[in-house]
A = this chain, B = another copy of it.
Amino acid sequence: MNLVELKRITIISEALLEERLLADIRRLGARGYTVTEVRGEGSRGVRASEWEGNNIKIETIVAPEIALTILAWLSERYFVSYAVIAYQETVEVVRGEKYV
């Protein structure tokens, strides 16, 4: 078994942005992603849906360079107007080659 060090990006955002965010991360090089329905509160707390706190969490495992590209894009494109938070971590992935 080989473990490869990769980055896991986590994006938490209002549910409305899901399709857009997925399209963006795919375009920027992600080969897969996982979405979880979550709810939460933050500093802004605005949400354009009847259901307050109805968020999604997107996780994607990518190579470190791609991680930086994605985070930079998110920061520039979404952070001003939307309720979005994003961070990265290092993970050791089984058969990690296939995600690069």
Contact = CB atoms under 8 A, between A and B. Distances in A.
A85 B92 contact: no
Given A12-B34, A34-B39, A61 B85 contact: yes
**Could you say how many copies of this chain the assembly holds?**
3
Given A34-B38, A42-B32, A43-B31, A87 B91 contact: yes
Contacts of A74: 94
Interface residues of A, number: 43
Nearest to A89: B91
B87 A61 contact: yes
Contacts of A90: 89
A6 B43 CA distance: 17
B36 A31 contact: no
Interface in A48-100: 55, 57, 61, 68, 71-72, 74-76, 79, 85-96, 98-99
Interface of A: 1, 3, 6, 8, 10, 12, 31-43, 55, 57, 61, 68, 71-72, 74-76, 79, 85-96, 98-99
